[in-house]
Structure 1
Amino acid sequence: MPATLVAPRLTPPTSAPAPLVSVEELSHGERKVALYASDMPNRYRYRKGDDAQIVTWIRQGVARLGLEELYLSAAYASGYRLLEMSHAETAEQTQAHLTRFPNSRRLDRAGSLAALTITGSGCIPCSAAAIARNHHALVEGACDCGGTGWMPLQVFDGEALSLNCPAHNPTGDRPNTRAAVPA
């Protein structure tokens, strides 16, 4: 039985069929979400020569979700993964992620198979647009940074420290706070 995303759709379903998208136009994260939403068996194990079946499942997941929902779910999965790897996820974010992807083992399996489509024997490279979207992260639920990109860390002797948020400010860029000096 396929797992499907259970989070409510932000866009109403339409009767029009999903546009045909080539797998090259999908990022790793988008391929992962498409596989998660497809009829791929939960205990599927890759065998040599199964590349065409994986592509079929990816296309099925895209058709099932639609591109907008696919892009959104992949961005949420990416944002949660960044927070999780930094041990900065909140209970609200974890609950939102588990609501969207209730079967974590299936999501891990889908991620492994999506990686095979990029690096395996049946390599299907990602387009530049897909690679750019792969770096787009969104957060479901309140973030400790409050959207500022900086999370309060601790206070020592009245001095506040902060840590860059891995989802909202992964590069740690500081805002330009230099005052203009008159010439």
Structure 2
Amino acid sequence: MPATLLATRASSDTSAERFLLTALRMTGAERLVALYASDMPTGFSWSRGVTPQVIAWVMQGVERLGFDDVYRSGNEVQHYGVLRLTGQVPAATRRWFRGRFPDRVRLGCVKRADAMLTFRLGDHEPVSGFVGDDTFRVYRAYGDDVDEVGV
């Protein structure tokens, strides 16, 4: 019996672990862009046990758009949010945002899902590493790794 307790099991769900690491390394704005592009239902409401499904939708959105687009659009969404808080959104930026997210109801649903996912991912310690796909990758550093990354 002790041998079975000490035996290592092969991880059968490495894709779920990889998806979790990717979602942890993405910014909230990047996850928002990916969720909007995914098959997540517009009437989605968070409930117990849906975190893996939401992470799968994030990954689906990244696959559809490519990480390059998710990354750049995420930066634009963050920039728009800062400008909106200060009341200084230029007309061109407002048009870009409304063109990127035309369905306001879906955007509200995606924002709530992204906020809950951010809350749920708060239980996990972020791990430094690359995030992206074969065409575009970004290194995200957390904790003690932040000061070791060359600029």
TM-score (norm 2): 0.65
Computing the radius of gyration from Cα coordinates, the structure with the larger value is 1
Whether the 8 Å CA contact 1:33–1:73 is kept in 2: the answer is yes
| Aligned partners of 2:28 and 2:118 also within 8 Å | yes
Alignment of structure 1 residues 130-141 onto 2, 5 Å: none
Identify if the C-alpha distance between structure 1 residues 121 and 61 changes in structure 2 by more than 3 Å, giving closer, same or farther.
Answer: closer
Separation of aligned partners in 2, 1:33 and 1:130: 21
The residue aligned with 1:57 is 57
**Letter matched to residue 53 of structure 1:** Q
Q: Does 1:43 align with 2:48?
A: no
* Partner deviation per Cα, 1:106-163 (whole Å, 9 max, x = no partner): 22322221222221388455456277xxxxxxxxxxxxxxxxxxxxxxxxxxxxxxxx
Q: Which of the two has greater helix per residue?
A: 2
* Residues 101, 107 of structure 2: 8 Å contact kept: yes
Q: Which has the higher contact order (CA 8 A, sep 6+)?
A: 2
Per the alignment, residue 116 of structure 2 pairs with 116
Show structure 2 runs of 5+ residues with no match.
1-17, 129-139, 143-151
Instruction: Assess, with a 3 A threshold, how the Cα gap between structure 1 residues 24 and 97 changes in structure 2: closer, same or farther.
Output: same
- For 2:33, the aligned partner's letter is V
**In structure 2, distance between residues paired with 1:36 and 1:125:** 25
AA matched with 2:38: S
2:83 counterpart residue number: 83
How many correspondences in the alignment?
112
Cα gap change, 1:104 to 1:66, in 2 (>3 Å): same
After superposition, the Cα gap between the structure-2 partners of 1:50 and 1:122, relative to the gap in structure 1 and judged at 3 Å, is farther
Task: Name the stretch that deviates more: 68-77 or 104-113.
Answer: 104-113
Q: What residue identity is the alignment partner of 1:65? A: L
Q: State the distance in 2 between where 1:92 and 1:26 align.
A: 26
Structure 1 length-normalised TM: 0.54
C-alpha contact (below 8 Å) 1:31/1:58 kept by paired residues: yes
RMSD over aligned Cα atoms = 2.3
2:134 matched to which residue of 1?
A: none
**AA in 1 matched with 2:31:** R
- After superposition, residues 83-102 of structure 1 pair within 5 angstroms as 83-102=83-102
